[in-house]
Homo-oligomer: A and B are copies of this chain.
Amino acid sequence: MKTSEIAKIIGAEIPQDLDDLNIDGLKSPESANESDIVFLSNPKLRDSIESSRAKVVIVKKGTSISGKICLEVEDPYLGYAKVAQLFENTSSLFTDGISPYAIIDPDAVIDKSVSIGPGSVIGKDVHIGAGCKIGANCVIEKGTRIGSSCRIDSGAVIRWETSIGNNVIIQSGVVIGSDGFGNAREGSKYVRIPCFGNVVIEDGVEIGANTTIDRGNLEPTLIGKGVKIDNLVHIAHNVIVGEDTAIVAQVGISGSTVIGKRVILAGQAGCVGHIEIGDDAFVGAKAGISKSVPVRGKVTGYPARDFMTMRRIEAAQSSLPDLLKEVKRLKDEILKLKRLDT
């Protein structure tokens, strides 16, 4: 691919007097050859770019590096993402088409452009749209609908009647549509509550390895458009996650909680059930959220508080042992003063 084509795709001006090199890969500065492109998103790494063999560099507007062809963009990290997509190898991991070792129910409806790896099991009345790539040893249970251009990686399990949009990525070991953890109590015994809802996953969602998403009790669990979910995340029954929200690894969201749009839930945070996290909110890593968070709220800590409040409390905590001593000292001084006064 020509440097000029890449420039166009990432929205960089074509450099003057461009030596329009052919680029055949995106690499780290250390591993790059002359025909690779690299990027500079962190100014601290400028040295490694200068000493790299790469000739073409994606940089922030206004940056020039001597001896390099600089493609200037507002956000070099975004430029990197777009170029990485250009060079992604999207060929089948197994044979093209449906492996003869896949087990497909005769009542499944599968577009002829779909690839399915060996050992995958596709149930009754499953529909799979054009361009989907399904790995090996996946299970897609009966009645599930999958749109077009989805990627379902080896070992994922999509349980019955799940609804999946277009351009969805579901990584290995993910379980979608497991039963919710709902139990009524009769004396000291729990009584299981079967779930009749399903899971609905909208377009452009990505779900990391070994994450679990439970089906709803009566209505669906809903993952909105463009939501990005990392590994080992737990999303309970009836949860609704708004569009373009990002959920980092090992986060847990309890039943019936509603997460807004463009929220960020940092790693290992947890939300109790039946609360709302407002649009554009930010929840810090490991935060324990037991109350609703307002729109654009920024909370952290355990129990979670407003971000700046929490930072002040944390700073004060460091002084706490000294404070105890100080108060003791003051108490003694007051005692002395009282004696003087009497």
Asked if A314 is at the interface (CB within 8 A of a chain B CB), the reply is: yes
Question: How many copies of this chain?
Answer: 3
Cα distance A81–B179 in the bound complex, in angstroms: 13
Asked if A85 is at the interface (CB within 8 A of a chain B CB), the reply is: yes
Instruction: Find out whether the CB atom of B157 lies under 8 angstroms from the CB atom of A172.
Output: yes
Instruction: Find out whether the CB atom of A81 lies under 8 angstroms from the CB atom of B191.
Output: yes
Instruction: Find out whether the CB atom of A286 lies under 8 angstroms from the CB atom of B270.
Output: yes
With A87-B196, A234-B231, A330-B331 already in contact, the answer to whether A31 and B218 are too (CB < 8 A) is yes
Asked if A282 is at the interface (CB within 8 A of a chain B CB), the reply is: no
Interface size on A, residues (CB 8 A): 122
Cα distance A234–B318 in the bound complex, in angstroms: 30
Cα distance A158–B209 in the bound complex, in angstroms: 12
Asked if A228 is at the interface (CB within 8 A of a chain B CB), the reply is: yes
Chain A, residues 32-62, CB within 8 Å of chain B (1/0): the string is 0000000000000000000000000000000
Instruction: Find out whether the CB atom of B121 lies under 8 angstroms from the CB atom of A137.
Output: yes
Chain A, residues 211-227, CB within 8 Å of chain B (1/0): the string is 01010011100000010
What residues of B have a CB within 8 angstroms of the CB of A261 in the complex?
188
Residues of A near any B CB (own CB < 8 A): 25-28, 30-31, 75, 77-78, 80-82, 84-85, 87-88, 93-94, 99, 101, 103, 105, 117-119, 121, 123-124, 135-139, 141-142, 153-155, 157, 159-160, 169, 171-173, 175, 178-179, 181-186, 188-194, 196, 206, 208-210, 212, 214, 217-219, 226, 228, 230-232, 234, 236, 244, 246, 248-250, 252, 254, 261-262, 267-268, 270, 272, 285-286, 288, 290, 301-303, 305, 309, 312-321, 323-324, 326-327, 330-331, 333-334, 337-338, 340-341
